[in-house]
Amino acid sequence: MYGGDDKPVIPNPLRQLRMYRWSGSRNRWHRILPENDNGEDAVPPSTIEFVSWNVSFDTPMVPQRMESVLRHLEKVVFKCRDGEAPEPCVVLLQEVHRHRGLEVILKDEWVREHFFVTPADSNKWHEHGLYGNVTLVERSIPVADAHILDFGLSAMQRTAVIVDIRLGAPQQDYDVILRVINTHLESLPMGNDVRPEQLTLLSKFLKGPGVRGGIVSGDMNPIGPKDATCPGTLGLRDAWRKGDKDERGFTWGAQPKTEFPAARFDKILYLPRRGYRVDEPQRIGVGLKTFSERLPGGSMWTSDHCGLWTKVHILR
For β-strands 89-97 and 47-54, DSSP reports them as parallel
Pairwise CA distance, residues 230 & 245, whole Å: 17
Chain-centroid distance of CA 293 in Å reads 31
Q: In Å, how far are 26, 56, 149 from 104, measured between CA atoms?
A: 19, 14, 24
Asked if 197 and 2 count as a contact pair (C-beta separation under 8 A), the reply is yes
The pLDDT-based confidence of 33 (bands split at 50, 70, 90) is: confident
User: Does residue 3 register a pLDDT over 90?
Assistant: no
Domain ranges across the chain: 2-314
Q: Which one, of 17, 30, 34, lies nearest residue 118 by Cα?
A: 17
The pLDDT-based confidence of 38 (bands split at 50, 70, 90) is: low
The listed CATH number (3.50.50.60, 3.40.50.1370, 3.30.2090.10, 3.60.10.10) that belongs to domain 2-314 = 3.60.10.10
pTM of the model: 0.95
The pLDDT-based confidence of 260 (bands split at 50, 70, 90) is: very high
